[in-house]
Amino acid sequence: NNRILKALVENAGLQRKFEDHRVHWGENRDILQGIFNNFRESETYERYMNSGSDSLKEDKQLLKIFYAEFITQNETLHQLYEDISMHWADDLDAAQMFVVKTFKSFQDVEGAVYSKLSKEMPEDVQNASQLPDGYDLATAKIIVDLYKDEDDADFGEKLLRYTVSDNKENEELISSKTRNWDTDRIAAVDILLMKMAIAELTHFDQIPVKVTLNEYIDLSKEYSTPKSGQFINGILDKLVAQLKEEKKIVKVGRGLM
């Protein structure tokens, strides 16, 4: 009778997400069953079942421990994720943060369960009178948004569009600064990251140049070769100087250059 599990299972929006993204365990249900069997034999589960008390706080604590000790560290699950997508680990930190944030969002309001994610401005509700009119957890929003806000989502879409539309022009810019390099030996990821960086530098006038440079240098260290950060830094420094001189990098606001 864990309140949070019940809310997740019965929530129409979450179940719709499962269908939209085709999240079905199918033949891998035995993996989940094995995880649950191990959990059921744990001291944590035994204490929870025999505590004699019944509170949302305990429900939360149980799920946090279950997720931390039986899900995130399960090598069989990791291998399954790897089989589905070799890039699964790229989003792991964000996914884990979303799970924990979802657990934390649930609040007991005079015996009713409420999710702070149901409101545009998440906040605690002190009593039932503060609940939204006709509040129903089964139909309420209980899912963490992928983007922080509309501006965040808009940025991602525009960056992709500018990177694609300016592809040829930016490729020529990069080539002009890498003539002493064997282009076949430059990692494709490095080329892509530099194209994205140029698009961000030239189209987003409120993002400081230094922020953009640091971001793409960090991305290169994460997704490319050990020396990519140094390489990208050198090329982008030259391109920034040229683009500033050509007035193609124009920032607004104090300190943004």
What confidence tens digit (pLDDT) does each residue in 190-246 have?
A: 999 999 999 999 999 999 999 999 999 999 988 888 889 999 999 999 999 999 999
Q: In this model, does residue 255 exceed pLDDT 60?
A: no
Report pLDDT for 256. Answer: 54
Query: What's the predicted TM-score (pTM) here?
Result: 0.69
Bigger pLDDT: 252 vs 40: 40
246: enclosing H helix or E strand: none
Structural contact between residues 131 and 156, judged by C-beta atoms closer than 8 angstroms? no
Dist CA 100 CA 107 (whole Å) = 14
- Type of residue at 6: K
Structural contact between residues 173 and 179, judged by C-beta atoms closer than 8 angstroms? no
Ranges for all domains in the chain classified under CATH 1.10.940.10: 150-245
Bigger pLDDT: 247 vs 137: 247
- Per-residue pLDDT averaged across 76-93, rounded? 86
Bigger pLDDT: 179 vs 165: 165
Report pLDDT for 122. Answer: 54
- Per-residue pLDDT averaged across 68-86, rounded? 90
How much of the chain exceeds pLDDT 90, in percent? 58
Chain segment 43-55, per-residue pLDDT in tens: 999 999 998 888 9
How much of the chain exceeds pLDDT 70, in percent? 96
Dist CA 36 CA 76 (whole Å) = 13
Report pLDDT for 103. Answer: 92
Chain segment 97-135, per-residue pLDDT in tens: 899 999 999 998 888 888 888 876 556 777 888 877 778
**CATH topology (fold) of 150-245:** N-utilizing Substance Protein B Homolog; Chain A (1.10.940)
Lowest mean pLDDT among 58-62, 147-151, 180-184: 180-184
Nearest alpha carbon to residue 25 among 80, 64, 103: 80
Per-residue pLDDT band at 25 (split at 50, 70, 90): confident
Nearest alpha carbon to residue 223 among 251, 256, 194: 194
Nearest alpha carbon to residue 121 among 108, 132, 137, 136: 132
Residue written as token pair 């499962």: 18
